[in-house]
A and B are shown apart, each in its own frame.
Chain A
């Protein structure tokens, strides 16, 4: 049995990597992947807590989160695709048409 503390450390590392990747990378696809990593880091922490306290409901909830994340990923990718079609680029430093 691996102590839950390890899981938490792994989760924190993954989450931090996600944040760093989000801010360093400049194209939408990679940034999107960074967000997915952060989401799954949170999932991992959730599961670790559930496993250590024998709390089954949390595992069910995680399944839901994964399902919703799949739908969200499909929509997100569709948006990226449409942006590319329209602007011929997905570099975020050029996408500021919503400037106030």
Chain B
């Protein structure tokens, strides 16, 4: 049954092609049906493959299916081949499952948009590219998916391209990702040079046989991680993700929360043997992840745009996933990826529902008291916020705790402390968002209030489903303290991810750690309650007391401005100079010069062309005489 796995990516691809070619002739109803149906079909295939794979013994993974030999240039061989193993299974289920719900939601959200067909064509294409990425059995094909999702991300961020800010955001995302992709390509080429293949199985085998020198492995892992920081929005390449919120909200949920941005985490987990073997690279991953988790969380504290808060939150949560990978708990990182996909897409979609209800308003200062107007949006939103804050019994608690516990168990106290600091802020900013949006006084503009309405069923039903999963998704990965076999998720992934060397912490310590993270979340929520419901004067007083800190956070540490001044501006200025001095003068000069020379000689020779028949005949006669003369004498 698992053999059908290679069919998974093709339904969305086909649907996308049909929408691009014949979209203008199809009715809106058919477009929705086809786009959602294609992803649902993929989901069914994924489910069948997953259920089949449960019966396969761990030694038989991965199952590889080569569709056709793709690139064959001398010793450089790459097949168009897919592989299926537990890690791919998790990713494929997340991509198609969450993806289907978001497609469904989009039917309602984008209903009045003129680019309806184009939107679904892009969304289907994205699903296809993402599935290629997670199913590829070699780095080269994975790179195709990697770039494909980047392209779709660009297209969808700039979906409303008539808005200059959206067009600029799309461009920024594309260019920043390009910087990371260069690392990815270099890493890929180094792997190829080292072992002559880019198949994941060959890489893992080569590591087992010790074909990689330690230094080379570290270099490759770091280069690949540079690619991951671009795609997964980590320090220092995270700057594109907040701007990416210019796209439609379901896009933010699908691409910039649940799937594409987790590609970096997936890649690191896929190459976990390489990162573990290198050691140094894994340390860097953990450190970058921890820094990002805290750094992004601080920026989320002061944002007023509801989607931007969620964007910084996504960056921060991706940081947690990298902490998990970096400390060797790859399974915990992937587990957080999986739970995060539910609760963060839930949060984005609920935020989209709020924005939809308020006719496009995203500023939380112009919300408030929405609880009673949006009775079907508020509960899912609250569940998402509780899940991400790390309150026990919801999915986010289990996955975040698994990461932090493992970090502690591996003796990475610094990383653990940073993660904990991030957790306080996560709870704080999420509940700040909830209180500002749904509680307190109404600050809605009269115009928006006039149109205020709850979203249609096609939008709220996906919210309800995601809310259910945000609650229950965590129970397949219970903490180890509840029993050796409690962590089903980890055991499921074991064929791909070897569990780390056991950290030495007792059950008591583990309970204590759990208690600490719960306490931390509670503190965050209480402070948010105090600041934004009980006594709204406190934040103002704090801002008045520490204006520089507020300014620093509100302007996101001026990172965009610094990048602009240090990198972008010199590049633009330099390019302008080269354009003015080299392009215009040297290149254009050479071209214009050769054209002018040809023109000059043409002009000079055209004197011979008198236009009189007799002149030509005379030349002809002279030529004939000379020719005959030469022949005769």
Contacts and interface: CB of A to CB of B under 8 A. Distances in A.
Interface of A: 19, 22-23, 31, 92-93, 95-100
Contacts of A100: 605-611
8 contacts: A22-B614, A92-B612, A95-B611, A95-B612, A96-B611, A100-B606, A100-B608, A100-B611
Interface in B290-338: none
A51 B99 CA distance: 96
Contact of A23 (B606, B607, B609, B618): B618
B613 interface: yes
Contacts of B608: 100
B166 to A, nearest CB: 56
Contacts of B611: 95-100
Nearest to A22: B617
A61 B335 CA distance: 95
B63 interface: no
Contacts of B610: 96, 99-100
B612 A23 contact: no
A95 B613 contact: yes
Interface residues of B, number: 13
Contacts of A93: 612
Contacts, number: 30
B621 interface: yes
A22 B605 CA distance: 26
Nearest to B617: A22
A100 B611 CA distance: 7
Contacts of B621: 19
Given A96-B610, A97-B611, A99-B611, 6 more contacts: A19-B621, A22-B614, A92-B614, A96-B611, A99-B610, A100-B610
A97 B611 CA distance: 6
A95 B613 CA distance: 8
A19 B614 CA distance: 11
Nearest to A31: B613
Interface in B611-631: 611-614, 617-618, 621
Contacts of B607: 100
The 8 A-B pairs at the shortest CB distance, nearest first, are namely A100-B609, A96-B611, A99-B611, A100-B606, A98-B611, A96-B612, A92-B613, A99-B610
A96 B616 CA distance: 11
B615 to A, nearest CB: 9
Contacts of A96: 610-612
Contacts of A19: 621
Interface in B563-609: 605-609
Contact of B609 (A31, A95, A99): A99
Contacts of A22: 614, 617
A87 B608 CA distance: 24
Of the listed residues A19, A31, A95, A100, the one surrounded by the most CB atoms of chain B closer than 10 A to its CB is A100
A31 B614 CA distance: 10
Nearest to A96: B611
A93 B613 CA distance: 9
A50 B240 CA distance: 91
Contacts of B609: 98-100
Contacts of B613: 31, 92, 95
Nearest to A26: B614
A34 to B, nearest CB: 10
Nearest to B609: A100
Nearest to A28: B613
A97 B609 CA distance: 11
Nearest to B607: A100
Contacts of A23: 614, 617-618
B248 to A, nearest CB: 63
Nearest to B616: A98
Contacts of A95: 611-613
Nearest to B621: A19
Contacts of B618: 23
A12 to B, nearest CB: 13
Contacts of B612: 92-93, 95-96
A96 B607 CA distance: 13
Contacts of B606: 100
A75 B79 CA distance: 66
Contacts of A97: 611
A47 B518 CA distance: 119
A96 B614 CA distance: 10
A95 B614 CA distance: 10
Nearest to B613: A92
B629 to A, nearest CB: 16
